[in-house]
Each structure stands twice: as C-alpha cells, then as structure tokens.
Amino acid sequence: MSDTPTQLSYRPRAPMKKPHTHQHAHGDGCCAAPVPAAPAAPAAPLPAGATSTRYRIVNMDCPVEERLIRNRLGGLAGIARLDFDLMSRILTVHHDLPETTGIEAALQAIGMQGEPLAQHADDDAPALETPHLSGAQKALLAISGAAAVGAEVLAWTTHTDSAPIVIALAALSIATGGLPTLKKGWIALRNLTLNINFLMSLAVIGALAIGQWPEAAMVVFLFAVAELIESLSLDRARNAMQGLLKLAPDVATVRAHDGSWQEAPVAGIATGAVLLVKAGERIPLDGVVRAGASSVNQAPITGESIPVAKQIGDTVFAGTINERGVLEIAATADSRHSTLARIVRVINETQANRAPTQRFVDVFARYYTPIVVLLAVLVAVAPTLLFGAAFTPWLYKALVMLVIACPCALVISTPVTIVSGLTAATRMGLLVKGGQFLEMGYKLRAVAFDKTGTLTTGQPAVTQVAAFGNASEDAVRMLAASLDALSSHPLATAIVAAGPDAHLRKAAVNVATLPGRGVMGEIDGAVYFLGNQRLMQERSVWSHANNATVRAMEDQGQTVVLLASDTAVLGALVVADQVRPEAQAAIARLSAMGIATVMLTGDNAGTADQVGKQAGITTVIAQLLPEEKHQHVQQLQSRYGVVGMLGDGINDAPALAQADIGFAMGAAGSDTAIETADVALMNDDLQKFPAFIALSRATRRILVQNITAALCIKVVFFGLALAGMATLWMAVFADVGASLLVVFNGLRLLRAPAKNA
C-alpha cells in the first residue's frame, strides 16, 4: 500500500489483555472455564549449605544415560539431588562435598565426560556446537552395514552361518559398528543398570553363542543407525533454540546523555533507555513508542497476520520488525527479560522438565533379562543341588532357555516397525523427528491449532469490495490499486492483486504517505485518499451511513480499507487472511477420530471467531501471547491427557515444546517452530495431520502385535524346554522364526498406512 498501513479496524492490543474465549453452538466448554494446570511436583529440598555444580555432558542424550548417571551418582555420599536438562546436555549436581573430583571420576567411570560450567546460565560458556558425524565415523558405519549385508547374503547362499567368510564379515561389522554399544553394555552391567545397551549386548552375545553371526551383525548395525538418527534430531533442535535469540539484534542505537545517538551492545542497555529504530530494522528490546509512527510486523511474537500500526504510547516487542517509519522507543525490559527471552526460557524449561518417555524395550529389559538369566541359572544348578539330579541334562535345558530368551526378536521388532513407519511418513510428506513421537501419536485426545499460517494461508487477500454512491466496484478496485501500485506492504499487495492488470490501471502521481492514516495521490487530476476511518473523518467525508456499513464488516473481524475523493467516500475494500481449503475436511476427520480441536491465536477475537467457524473448530481462544498459549496447552493436558499443538511461528514455540507432540507447518513455518516441533507437515497440507494419527495408530497396533508374538513364542518354548521337549536346534528355529515374523509384520506399514485409521 503506502509506507503506512491503511487499517482502521485492526487495532493494536495491550500485551497482556485477557484472552477472548468463544464457544460455537456445539462447543463442549473446555476452555470457557479454564481448567487449572496440574501443579508440578516439588523438587526434593536441599540440605542447608548445599552447593550446585553444573556439568555439560556431550554424550548425554536420552533417558538411558540419565538412569545410568542416576544409578552411579545417586549412591555417593554427599549427593543431595540430580537435575537433568537433556536438551542442553546439562547435569546439575546438588551436593555438600568439599571438592568435586569424586563426581567427575564417577562420571568418567561410566563413559560420561563432564565439562564443569559456571553456576548460573548467564555465565555459561559459549553455546554447545552440534557435533557432526566425522568422515571416519561415516566410513565405519558404511563398512558395518556392507559387511552385515554381505554376511547375510553369503549365509543365505551357502546355507551356513559359520563359514569362515561369513564369520569374518560379521565380526568386521560388529567391530566397526557395535563396539560402542558393547562397551556401554559392559558399563551398564558393571553398574547394575540393565538398560537397552546391555540388552543389545546380550542379544549379540546370544546370537554369537548359537552361531548366528549374520543376525548378530545386522542387529548391531540397525541399532547403531537408530541411535545416530535420534542423536542428530536432538542436535538440530538444540541449534534451533540457540539461534532463537538471534532474532533480536546484538547492537542498538541508543540516546546518550548529551542527546546524541550512539550504537551500543543490546546486552548492556538498561530499562528506560531510549532507542532509535529505523525502517527495516528489528526492534532490539521490549518498549513503548515515544515518538514516530510506523507499522510493525510482530508475527514472530504474537502471530498476528497483518502488520500492526504503532503510534506514541503503543507497546512493541523485541525481535519484531519495524517495516516503515522511524520509531523512538523507551525500553521497558532488558535483554534477559524481554518477551523473546521469555520464549527461549519457556522452551528450555519445558524441554528440561518434561518427563522422558522410557523406551518399552529398555524398561522391559530391566525385569525380563535378569529374571530369565536367573531362571536359567536356577534350572541349571537347582535340580543338582537340591535333588541330586544329573547336571548335564539340566544344563542343556538351561542353555536352551537362554537361547530362547535371546531378545533378538524383541530388539529387532521395534526398530523395524518404527523405521517402516518413519519411511511411510516421509513418503506422505511428514517429517517425524523420532520414533517415540510416531508411537505416541495414537494417544492424542486433543489438538491445539495456531491460526495465522496454520489454519490460514498467512497471505491477506481482498475478499469483498463495496461501492458507495455513484461509484462502481471496478472503479474502486482500479483507483485503490493505482494508489498502492508502488508499495510492498502486505495490504497493498493484496489490493493491487485484486485490481486490474498494470496496463489497465491509471497512473497515480504525487503519492504521499499520511502516517497512521494511509496515502493520498492524484489520478487524472483528481485527489484520492486510501486509508482508515480516521483519515476519512479528518477529510470531512465520513457519514453515518458509511459508519454502519463499515462497522458491519469490522464486526466480522476483517480489515477495512476505505477509498475517498476530496468530497465523499467512494468505497471499501475488505482484506482478510484466507482459511486453507483443506482445513475444514481435516478438522472434520479429526473430530470423527474422537480428537477435540482448539484454536489458540494472538490475533484479535473477531478474526479468530470467523476463521474458527469456517474451519469447523468448536473452541477459539484469541489475543494470546506466547506464554499464554503455553499455559492453555497445559490446561488442555489437564483436561484431556495427551495433547498436540500445530503451529508455524516462533510465537508458537513455547506451546509446541509444552505439548506432548508438537507439529509445525514445514513449508510456511519458521525454522525455530519446525525444529522445536516433533513433527513437521512439509507441504503444509492439514490433511496430513489426521493421516499422521492414522499412521501412529497402525504403528502402535503392529508394535503390540510384534511384541506379543515374540513373547508368546518364547513362553511356549520356555515350557517346552522345562518339559525336555525342546532342543537347541528348535530354539534357534524359534528365535530366527520370531525375528522374521516381526520383521515382515513391521514392513506392512509401508503399504497404505493412512488407511489404517
């Protein structure tokens, strides 16, 4: 349009205005009376005089390492409490020890190298860089995979798993891809922590003991790939959060004591300082406009679809973009307490405090493996010691039990099923950053949606043109497009797009910006004005008849731009964001699947209500800041249990982190939203959302089928072994058969997963 937005009906809102809640006729009232979030469990009290030592542990990625550290440090004298931030790889040890050498030695003993950090986050060393997979590591992994595949092929063609060449290839695969896992398994055994690494080690050793060299090699390789994918996904999320603060500039223009303007580091600017922000610059700190008028794109913070007019007394946020005029801003918060900094803090706290989901196989191994090993030992020695029975037959039965107990089928069942599901998701245009999210999707009972860029396209368009008096709609379109032809403002772009082609428009001359009001210019010697109601009133062309018509448009939550000559208002153009064409069908399918839908948006109430009605969402909550979206997701979790959040902007990041599963619009979404989220819809097709849930439900069913089948086969053969009716050959057959069964069952996910709703 012009250098100043011509939007009357879109009024700037106060930063902490009470959220608007709207219930459609069929709403269930879940958000009309917000449910208080469940209080967090209080941390264990610290003894008087306790100190805290913080460590950055590069290889602490998941709950497996967390439990290993807890088991090792938890029993040390003087340790009061351990706090884990897996996302930042930081361990905080609360203790009353005179020195920390014992803590560091204990960490080193379990393969965890702890780098001491300053006590407070603000004094930390530079942000942790993402470790990249080195060329040597890639080569070793490639060798491991090639050797494992070669061993399988040769074993199949030669009908033997113990040929020298087969054993050599399998040994090469295990040596290049499995030594880290075997080492971790040994450390876990030494520390009486029978985690998934011990389970994998036992599977490999068991397979080798029965001569299944190719199987052992393949299990090692698949597990190494799965661990690598998980680690890289976490690293990408860490980098995205570290880059979030880069939205705010490092240097700002500040008024000095002598009245001159000087550049200064943002980190050292105190509350109350006066800042100068030119057109196109990012606002460095939260503040209040003291002089000037402009439009500010604050979508990164509030999610509002259209740049907001800012005048003296209006609030602005750090990280937002001053699009047009020059602003003088009085800072109301320093860099550590800005709205942007709070977003980062909420994300970090949410990621750190979320109760980690234990992998089923890891939890199962804590009980299954020691019980089976103990049972096998008892079968081998108890009859001889208690009843004087011959030792050899019972030892043979014990060996059969251990072979049957080899958890290869259990270990393979989960990664094969998950990899198949992730592959199917990729083919569908879904980026799922971890098997745990694919597994968890079936539990979703409610989904919160952002509005702008998620349910809507994020691109304003002219939806209605009204002509007043003797003017025609075509004339209104043409004159408005002519006045806005040289502007790049989003509203102007929409108005120009709704007008005639460039060669059919009349040239506007002497176009001038009217700050906070709109633009004026001459066309064919006549003066025309394009702007808001305030401009029309100042030109004395406003009438009560115009007021009634425009008010009816504004009541629908739409932005109204008025066109006038120097004697009368000629017409109005209604500009609004467009609901995605597939939104209604996607919401209807979610409802049919029994999933509640809620809209959480920073936009105004009228606009939000209209979008909610068009999309079919029953509950709409508008005028929310990022932390308020985060709070509403917590309330939904209190009511429904497992909750998802779908958004596209940085302002959605805290809510995405709080949700059990965070979803981002992959094409239109910001990098931070995508990296904070757990699942990205890469082509921005909302229909992929219910497709993901259908895929998750199918994955869940197959996982249950695989685990049940593997356990049932083992239970049957345990009974046969105790009865003396099973041989080692039968045990090998049962183990291999169970492995093949779960593999083929898992691969079914590659076929039309979306139909398995």
Which residues are tagged catalytic? 450
DSSP 258: T
- CA-CA distance, 175 to 323, in Å (whole number)? 59
* Of the candidates 635, 594, 654, the residue with the CA atom closest to the CA atom of residue 342: 654
- The count of other CB atoms within 10 Å of the CB of residue 263 is 9
- CA-CA distance, 380 to 374, in Å (whole number)? 10
- Residue 216, amino acid: A
- Side-chain half-sphere exposure of 543, counting CA atoms within 13 A: 12
Say whether 647 sits in a helix, a strand or coil: strand
- CA-CA distance, 631 to 635, in Å (whole number)? 6
Tokens 């706290």 belong to residue: 349
Long-range contacts of 159-166 (CB under 8 A, 24+ apart): 161/211, 161/212, 161/213, 161/214, 161/215, 162/211, 162/213, 166/213, 166/214
Spatial contact of 315 and 14, defined as CB atoms under 8 Å apart: yes
Sheet holding 315-316: strands in order across?
A: 261-265, 251-255, 274-277, 327-331, 287-291, 315-316
DSSP 286: -
User: Beta strand pairing status for 430-432 and 679-681?
Assistant: antiparallel
- CA-CA distance, 174 to 299, in Å (whole number)? 51
User: Beta strand pairing status for 79-85 and 90-95?
Assistant: antiparallel
Segment holding 459, helix H or strand E: strand 456-467
Torsion sign, CA atoms 649, 651, 655, 658: positive
- Side-chain half-sphere exposure of 257, counting CA atoms within 13 A: 0
- CA-CA distance, 384 to 406, in Å (whole number)? 25
